[in-house]
Structure 1
Amino acid sequence: MSHHLLAFFTIMDNQGGIAVTDPPKFDLDLYIQNYKGRTRFDRLFLIARSSVPLCIDALKVAIAEAKRGADTQRYREAVECLRIAAPSEPEAVFDQAWLSNQEAANRIETKRLLTELKGYKNNLIKESIRMGNEDLGKHLESIGDLNAAAEAFSKMRPDVSTSKQFIDVGRHLVRVSVQRCEWAMVSAHLSKMGGSQSQEEEFILQPYIKIAHGIALLGQEKYHEAALSFLAADSAASSSNYNELASANDVAIYGGLLALASMDRSHLQQQVLENPKFRTFLELEPHIRRAIAQFVSGRYSACIAILESYRPDYLLDIYLQKHIQTIYAQIRRKCIVQYMIPFSCVSLDTMNKAFGRPGQPIEDELADMIQSGILQARINTIDKLVTTIGTNPRVQMQEAALKSAEDYERQALDRLRRMGISAADLELKGQKKMGGHPLHGQSELAMEETLG
């Protein structure tokens, strides 16, 4: 690593970033072709700030991507990063002419759109007002003013007249909210989009809603709910319907990893491996399918090994990066717990061979799991054994007998109470309307006595 690159990643580390030194398995150019819209730059810029091997290449592509758009702040940030990481590169010099021209063009376009919208409002033409707000929102989003863009898109709602227009408003607001990482707002906008679309619109919209909702739930660390949302996405629809948010490969990765972290073996088999909708996604990422199949088959160390080999890739994902450590830790703990279930006693050497990491003995990890209640076991440091804590069958039988006795006693008391009420003629009879009174004769007296 050059001293310029080292200085760059030192700055990134001080800002709370991470440095991935292992090269990912994907090709950068092929990877970025799966996306459209502003997420392309966001993903490239994250890769540049996180991947040591891809840093300079990703920054160059990000600069080119920024110059194809109108967001001058993004261009400034990417060039500034490249100036620190590789100052000798031609792209590390600010293109002042482009910056000045683009900023002037942005100001002119903003003024023009605001003037047009004001004219539409004066004429009170609803369709023109809707289109004017939409054009203004798209422009403001393209120049990076996401707050103003969200406000413009929100002002479209009173003027929509068709289900397609209503869906378009929702998609605009979801896209902006995802860029701002406002996960609760993403879910709120998605909830307003369902219900009124035609069958064709519903087919196109279904995977978009499920994937966007999954991303929002992932951002809120609701891993099980997010997994169910990704698993329900219909793979029959084209990825062009949702690739402003994620690719079909991403859906397989997100759904598979989150399912592994939050579901047991039977649910993984039924809801992932045997899920006809999700199977098409899984075919794009066969290693995810292999990892899930290994877990279901009880080959836990093989499952972990597959996932670890792809950790560098997932650390470069815009939605997964902040969560990958937690997700991997949950999967690892599940593997250890499942591995221990058939045994009453396992040697620490065996556990280290199955789950140990280089230079990190597993004893500390097991102790943490035992203290947190995840693993019911004891560690014998003298004999180097891990002993599971099983429930005494005699105690289980006694507890079951006591519970049965309590249930019988409660039922017997209920029956005796009912017999006493019946013998005293205090039961409520069926209501009869006579003379305007709801109850008559002895039934009314019984009601008074009961209430008394």
Structure 2
Amino acid sequence: MNVDGHPLSSEIYLTGFSHNHSPLDSPACSSDLSSLLEHTLAFSFPHEEIYKNLLLVPSLCDENDVFPSVKPSKNFDFNVYIQSYIGYTQIERLLLIGETCPSLRDPTRRFTLQLLQQSENVFLYKKLMDRPLFSDMEFDGNWILEKEKEACLIIGNLENENSIYKSKMDKKKVYEIQCKLGQAHYKYGNFTDALQAFSNARESCSTPQELFEVNLECAFISIQLQNFDYVSNSIGYLAQSQCLEPNIASKLKSWAALAMLYYKNYRLAVVKFLEIPTSHYNAQIFSDVLSVQDLITYICVLSLAESDRREISDLLGNANFRSQLESLPHIHALLTSFYNLQYNSFIQLLDQISNDLRFDLYMHRHIHTLSKKIYSKALLQYLSPYECADLRTMGQSFGVDPAYLEKQIAWLINDGALMARIDSCNKLIYTHKSNERMKTYSTTLKTGDGFRRNTVSTLVRISLTHYNSCPK
């Protein structure tokens, strides 16, 4: 301020145009920014809780953050959700919900133990005794002893038979015993030994169909173990097999997409999911790993994070996919509100869906990163038509305080995602628009230079060839 009390100049962030030291770069200012954000979040504005979840500033929010307590949204129906799965994936999802949602802790614990006893998975049942979630639960010791004896007897007999048939060089019988051994290990919960048994069965396969079935079992067990390196290798072979049926092909595509999701290759993950025909959106195909609702949700969330506006339009315009999408009204509303620029309702829906996806077995590690990407994309989409935008008007559109929104824009500028500068005094954002005419002109000149160089090189080669062919 000068002596008259007027500002000498507007506070402007120039990080989008210059790599000079910016207010966000200094360590001291990083802590100041954190305190400013905490102060800003203390204001009362419509979506305060939402923006705490979607906070973009790295000093306060990181992709490795843990959300120990999650409250399900109004769209989350626990019974419907958990009945969408079968087998081990149902148990794993129950454990995740029990550990992250205090309000559902008791029903998930009881249901988990009940399912484990029904499935005879004594290996996991025993492991749960050491988990804090089950510290005050009673376990059936007699059932554990009974199932351990039964498992030892069955597996011991199969191993003896396997040794006998190996000594007789009977490949057919060895293949059958190894498969039974893998199934027995899987039934009692020892997935590592089950994978080893099915892997050993490969050596005794006598037909392409047998080899295909063994590799499919290996891939499936690797999904349960979340060993996605093994999954990717197995899918590479299975996808080229002549024994591949359409339903199995769709299942393999979903597994390949999960592998891409695990490696954080979100773009390729959504491409793989979209390769699955909508006619195969059937619970009987996917329920041992995913539900149809998961499939649709993954496609929409990943598309919002990775696809451009035209691709989202194509997705909404796909009649077959839209008929499936309409079965999940909140997901359909999320996609349409983003496309129709209804940012206020979009942010509310994004918060609800992001919250529920923290219960998801495969998405919970990624939803924070994806939410930040989607939110950033919404901010960039809002600013794209403007050379100068008013933070107050933008705050009304998003339902947030302008001071808070300013910090988010500053983070995008500092990260290099947005070429702009902020006038903090007047609450204005000046975006830098590239000169498309000059860009086209430069591209044309480069293409012409390349054509000229190729022409000269061709003429030189012709001359040399002619010279070499002439008699000395």
Distance 2:465 2:233 in 1: 50
Q: Cα distance, 1:164 vs. partner?
A: 3.8
Q: Could you tell me which residue of structure 2 aligns to residue 293 of structure 1?
A: 336
Q: Cα distance, 1:377 vs. partner?
A: 1.3
Q: Secondary structure at the match of 1:346?
A: strand
Aligned pair 1:260/2:307, yes or no?
Answer: no
Distance change >3 Å, CA 300–CA 171, structure 1 → 2: farther
The 5 A counterparts of 1:382-401 are 382-391=425-434, 397=438, 401=441
Q: Cα distance, 1:23 vs. partner?
A: 4.8
The 5 A counterparts of 1:27-426 are 27-78=77-128, 81=132, 83-84=134-135, 87=136, 92-197=137-242, 201-237=244-280, 238-270=282-314, 272-275=315-318, 278-355=321-398, 361-391=404-434, 397=438, 401=441, 404=444, 408=448, 426=463
Paired amino acid for 1:369: L
Distance change >3 Å, CA 114–CA 276, structure 1 → 2: farther
Residue by residue over 1:244-267, the C-alpha shift from the partner in whole angstroms, topping out at 9 and shown as x without a partner, is: 111111110111111111000101
Distance change >3 Å, CA 63–CA 445, structure 1 → 2: same
Match of 2:470 among 438, 445, 451: 445
Paired amino acid for 1:444: S
Distance 2:210 2:317 in 1: 37
Q: Cα distance, 1:218 vs. partner?
A: 0.6
Paired amino acid for 2:465: L
Residue by residue over 1:358-416, the C-alpha shift from the partner in whole angstroms, topping out at 9 and shown as x without a partner, is: 898122221111011111111111111111112357xx53x655665565566567767
Distance change >3 Å, CA 218–CA 413, structure 1 → 2: closer
Distance change >3 Å, CA 417–CA 29, structure 1 → 2: closer
Distance change >3 Å, CA 160–CA 236, structure 1 → 2: farther
* Contact 1:62–1:78 (CA under 8 A) maintained in structure 2: no
Q: Secondary structure at the match of 2:264?
A: coil
* Contact 1:130–1:156 (CA under 8 A) maintained in structure 2: yes
Paired amino acid for 2:294: D
Residue by residue over 1:4-52, the C-alpha shift from the partner in whole angstroms, topping out at 9 and shown as x without a partner, is: xxxxxxxxxxx95621034563332322222122111111111111112
Residue by residue over 1:60-84, the C-alpha shift from the partner in whole angstroms, topping out at 9 and shown as x without a partner, is: 1001111112333422454554554
Match of 1:18 among 59, 68, 71: 68
Distance change >3 Å, CA 392–CA 139, structure 1 → 2: same
Relative contact order, CA 8 A, sep 6+: which one is greater?
Answer: 2
Q: Cα distance, 1:205 vs. partner?
A: 1.1
* Contact 1:251–1:281 (CA under 8 A) maintained in structure 2: no
Bigger mean CA offset, 15-24 vs 295-304: 15-24
* Contact 1:232–1:278 (CA under 8 A) maintained in structure 2: no
Paired amino acid for 2:86: K
Distance 1:358 1:163 in 2: 63
* Contact 2:99–2:133 (CA under 8 A) maintained in structure 1: no
Q: Could you tell me which residue of structure 2 aligns to residue 428 of structure 1?
A: 465
Distance change >3 Å, CA 421–CA 339, structure 1 → 2: closer
Q: Secondary structure at the match of 1:343?
A: coil
* Contact 1:44–1:62 (CA under 8 A) maintained in structure 2: yes
Distance 1:386 1:242 in 2: 47
Distance 2:288 2:452 in 1: 65
Q: Could you tell me which residue of structure 2 aligns to residue 8 of structure 1?
A: none
Distance 2:403 2:361 in 1: 29
Distance 2:225 2:249 in 1: 23
Bigger mean CA offset, 40-49 vs 115-124: 115-124
Q: Secondary structure at the match of 2:278?
A: coil
Paired amino acid for 1:240: Q
Distance 2:156 2:287 in 1: 31
Paired amino acid for 1:170: N
Q: Secondary structure at the match of 2:429?
A: strand
What's the TM-score once normalised by structure 2's chain length?
A: 0.78
Q: Unaligned stretches of 5+ in structure 2?
A: 1-64
Report the RMSD for the aligned CA atoms in angstroms.
2.9
Q: Cα distance, 1:330 vs. partner?
A: 0.7
Paired amino acid for 1:428: T
Distance 1:314 1:170 in 2: 31
Q: Cα distance, 1:230 vs. partner?
A: 0.8
Distance 2:94 2:420 in 1: 45
* Contact 2:121–2:189 (CA under 8 A) maintained in structure 1: yes
Q: Unaligned stretches of 5+ in structure 1?
A: 1-14, 430-441
Q: Secondary structure at the match of 2:75?
A: coil
Distance change >3 Å, CA 415–CA 17, structure 1 → 2: closer
* Contact 1:210–1:229 (CA under 8 A) maintained in structure 2: yes
Residue by residue over 1:263-298, the C-alpha shift from the partner in whole angstroms, topping out at 9 and shown as x without a partner, is: 00101222x223455445423323222222222233
Residue by residue over 1:99-127, the C-alpha shift from the partner in whole angstroms, topping out at 9 and shown as x without a partner, is: 11112222212211211222222232222
What's the TM-score once normalised by structure 1's chain length?
A: 0.81
Q: Secondary structure at the match of 1:378?
A: strand
Distance change >3 Å, CA 361–CA 118, structure 1 → 2: same
Paired amino acid for 1:381: S
Distance 2:443 2:432 in 1: 23
Distance change >3 Å, CA 67–CA 123, structure 1 → 2: same
Distance change >3 Å, CA 130–CA 268, structure 1 → 2: same
Distance 2:429 2:402 in 1: 20
Aligned residue-pair number: 406
Distance 1:134 1:159 in 2: 10
Q: Secondary structure at the match of 2:430?
A: strand
